[in-house]
Amino acid sequence: MKITDPWLENAGTQAVFAALTAKGHVALAVGGCVRNALMGVPVTDIDIATDATPETVVQLAKDAQLKSVPTGIDHGTITVVSDGTGYEVTTFRADTETDGRRAIVRFSTDMAEDAARRDFTMNALYANARGEVIDPLGGLPDLQARRVRFIGDATARITEDYLRILRFFRFSAWYGDPNLGFDVEALAAIAETLDGLDALSRERVTAEVTKLLSAPDPAPAIATMAQVGVLQMVLPGAHAESLAPLIHYETEAKLAPDAIRRLASLGPFDPSHLRLAKRDQRRLELYQRLISEITPAAELGYRHGAEAAIDVLLLRSALLENPVDPNTLDQARTGAQATFPVKPNDLMPTFTGAKLGEKLRELETRWIASGFVLGKSDLLD
């Protein structure tokens, strides 16, 4: 089988292959770029595996007048820059020691050893500069069936790095066939190794959870995570029931997937279990608070903007499994465009200090209740 994809045929990519193989070394595209090309999914990062040592990669790049950056030299990775694009070039590796979070590796000249240390069969596919696919572990049939399966013994793969539990569900959401269900051996291994999730940093967990929730439909994966106990381990207090309805309502409203909106549907769990960016954490906490309030749609839009208001309305509907009224969404948009006509100067000097604030809030409440119709003169009359 061959792949034909713009990234492979690109002059910059071919220059890297030519540089790495100039003195007889092997250079193969590997992992996500090969997988995505075969699935017709856009390729964003290009990884290349080679039997050349990192020092040799640097020299080969220099000989070809390509820039190299030692971005992960201890782990065998050199970034080679060609035609403005960075290519991560990593020496074939084999694990010598693992602790569930990271591995100590030795460099290898054996592609089969390199393949065996990877996580899923669909990620152990290689391709040469001509696009000819090399499948050392039988991952191609799994990829063609959209079946996410661990390489070899699932328990062994998980205990090498417990993040693979979350990666299994992320890859299932993005690349798996929902009609196939989830690999039974993988689920059994996950159930046996759940405690290992405690060893993972919040940063790594957050990255996986947000990538998973950004998939077109992560609901089956999240539901299965809840069934086997993974969801409760990483997000204590979370539940999966509202996510599927939310995704349905998102589709009806023509909204793109949004990880924070979907995270809020998982219930009032403590966000401190994740390491979110401050903006995302504030947004999540706002949604968690507003879901259970009864603030009308127009007022939600006025106070929090159209995007937040619509998200909250969808989340409320998902919680109640009650379809969203399009008119309600329009009310939120109308509220977001409204501007309160009274300014503090309009009430001074009659009102000052705390009394001024109280009067402004009173008039604002009347104005909102009027559907934003009352003008300044009506309110001050």
- CA–CA dist 280, 51 (Å, integer): 42
Tokens of 167: 């990666």
pLDDT tens digits along 3-47: 999 999 999 999 999 999 999 999 999 999 999 999 999 999 999
> Is 100's pLDDT higher than 70?
no
Can you give the pLDDT at residue 344? 93
Q: How far apart are CA 345 and CA 337, in angstroms?
A: 22
Task: Report the predicted TM-score, pTM, of the whole model to 2 decimal places.
Answer: 0.91
The Cα–Cα gap between 217 and 266 comes to 14
pLDDT value for 272: 87
Residues 292-340 pLDDT 10s: 998 999 999 999 999 999 999 999 999 999 998 999 999 999 999 999 9
Q: What is the DSSP string of 146-198?
A: T---BSS-HHHHHHHBTHHHHHHHHHHHHHS-TTT---HHHHHHHHHSGGGGG
Q: Which residues pair with 90 in a beta bridge?
A: 49, 77
pLDDT value of residue 85: 96
Dig out the tokens for 76 from the structure: 């065998």
Calpha distance 219→22 (Å, rounded)? 48
